[in-house]
Structure 1
Amino acid sequence: MYCPFPIWCIAASTCRSNRDKVRGLLYQGERSEWDISLGAAVPVRSDDNAARRGMPDLDPTVEIGPQWSYKLRQPWGDVTFRLPLRKVLAVDLPDVRDVGTVFTPSVALDRDHHPWPGWHASIATGPVFGDRNYFAYYYGVDARHATADRPAWAATSGYGGWQLTLALTKRFKQLWVGGFLRADHLGGAAFENSPLVRDRLSWTGGIGISWIFLESAQTVDSVR
């Protein structure tokens, strides 16, 4: 989907940019396309987390893999189905290790025209599926880290919960601003019984600001 680093552009057959993003595009049809999907997660210090205290810290992770998308254009917005399959890598430079695979199909509604001109709003929702290694990285408990309140627990692959994400962005000439709010519901997840799971519903959010200091001399209309 996004291609923020040159290495991701090399991995794809084409690297294209428009007013919204830079991405590695593999194939584009009238309604469907293949591209490179990226994701990331921040590190976690176990000493700052009551459930993980005494366990190793979690390194930041980077996710990368192919994504197939299918878009339906409607008068009230664009509906897009996305099927991203990503390999997850834990990064502790100079070491990078494989910690599993994640599959996050979703359906998204995007709107450019609404009561606030120039703003772009989107809502996306869908399930999460992961393999045993992926869930073990976040929710597994080895016997050597087990305590009276935290028994050993071995992960299995399968369903990993449901996500709902709201996002709002706007481009002001050389300035880009955006924010998101995401809800994760873990009821019924393969790791629901892990002693590291304390809540079945969690909320995360964030804001971002980018200054666009350089553009190509020749631009084209955005293709959505």
Structure 2
Amino acid sequence: MRHRARTACAALLTCTFAVPAAAQAERPLWELGIGVAGLRLPHYRGADQSHNWLLPLPYVVYRGEIFKADREGARAVLFESDRLDFDLSAAASAPTRSDDNDARRGMSDLAPTLELGPNLNWTAARGPGWKLQLRTPVRAALTLESHPTSIGWTATPNISVDFANLRGSGWNLGLMSGPVFGSRRFNGYFYDVPLANATAGRPAYRAGGGYAGAQFTTALSRRFDTTWVGLFARYDTLQGARFAASPLVRQRDNLSFGVAFSWVFATSSQNVTTPDR
């Protein structure tokens, strides 16, 4: 159970509350905090059952030249210019016990997963306090268990628009939408039904690779002196997905959401200048 909670927390940290940093200013090189997050997430995209999570949430900000962990996520920046930047990014997913899911009952559990890969970002337009980007993350995926297994790759190109200090309110807003693509192995990990697990109500199925639906995400955050608060909502659709006919897809639309609070208890005495977002 602790491992499942840690993995869900990792998924939260790497992608859930990824919203923009505020405008250019002198800020501490690093900040540390601790808090709590409440999440409601589907067992997997296309599931008709959800997890409710209440998790401890570490708050970590690092504003180095190469390694960064901030409201745009954790990444290693390899190249950065006025319009283009290239980094290495990560994402994760929470586990699901098949005994807890009616569609998967009797099948193998879904282990937590980790995704790592390159991400090229092109800034199409920007202005005071806002930025419009095309992001193209492509990640290799593997399971997190005693014997990790490669499960192919996934790509989530998206258009994002970020607003810092929205209308002078101190709130930062991020909006993101785009398609999802997965390799045959990646889609199959979640949606294959092996012949050995087939039943009268769950026929054998082999998922194809390619288009895997689309995602629409909005995130909101604000720093109040030594307190940070973040909220997010994500809508997933599997309309037109290559595996939409899988008997494990019980519904083609999912909504995920969550809220988090952190208390920032330590900051670096060294300041750095962050770029205007």
Relative to structure 1, the CA distance from residue 187 to residue 20 in structure 2 (aligned partners, 3 Å threshold; closer, same or farther) is closer
- State which of 90, 112, 123 in structure 1 corresponds to 2:143: 90
CA RMSD of aligned residues (A): 2.5
Give the letter for the 1:15 counterpart.
Answer: F
Structure 2, gaps ≥5 residues long: 1-12, 16-61
TM-score between the two structures when normalised by the length of structure 1: 0.88
Given the superposition, is the C-alpha separation of residues 126 and 29 from structure 1 closer, same or farther in structure 2, using an over 3 Å criterion? same
Q: Show the 5 A alignment for 1:177-216.
A: 177-216=229-268
Letter in 1 for 2:86: W
Q: Secondary structure at the match of 1:47?
A: helix
- Does residue 170 of structure 2 align to residue 118 of structure 1? yes
Aligned length: 217
State TM-score, norm by structure 2: 0.72
* Secondary structure in 1 matching 2:265: coil
Gaps of 5+ in 1: 4-8
1:67 aligns with 2:119: yes
Partner of 1:144: 196
- 103 and 203 in structure 1: CA distance in 2 versus 1, 3 angstrom threshold: same
Partner of 2:5: none
Matched residue SS, 2:189: helix
Runs of 4+ more than 6 Å apart = none
**Partner residue, 2:213:** 161
AA in 2 matched with 1:86: R
Residues 19, 213 of structure 1: alpha-carbon distance in 2 compared, 3 angstrom cutoff: farther
The corresponding residue for 2:98 is: 46
Query: Which residue is equivalent to 2:182?
Result: 130
d(CA) in 2 for partners of 1:220, 1:85: 30
1:104 is aligned to 2:152? no
What residue in structure 1 maps to residue 134 of structure 2? 81
Q: Is the 8 A contact 2:226 2:264 kept in 1?
A: yes
Give 1:76 shift.
7.2
Q: Is the 8 A contact 1:104 1:129 kept in 2?
A: yes
**Structure 1 residue 2: Cα displacement:** 5.9
Report percent identity of matched pairs: 40
Deviations 1:163-205 (A, max 9, x none): 0001001112232221110011101100011010111111111
Q: Which residue number corresponds to residue 47 of structure 2?
A: none
Report the CA distance between 1:35 and its aligned residue.
0.9
Secondary structure at 1:194 match in 2: coil
Amino acid at match of 2:213: G
Distance 1:21 1:184 in 2: 20
Q: 1:17 to 1:53 in 2, by over 3 A?
A: closer
**DSSP 3-state at the match of 2:149:** strand
Name the SS for the 2:272 alignment partner.
coil
Corresponding position of 1:175: 227
Counterpart amino acid of residue 184 in structure 1: D
Q: Is the 8 A contact 1:19 1:222 kept in 2?
A: no
Matched to 2:138, the amino acid is L
Instruction: State the partner residue of 2:84.
Output: 32
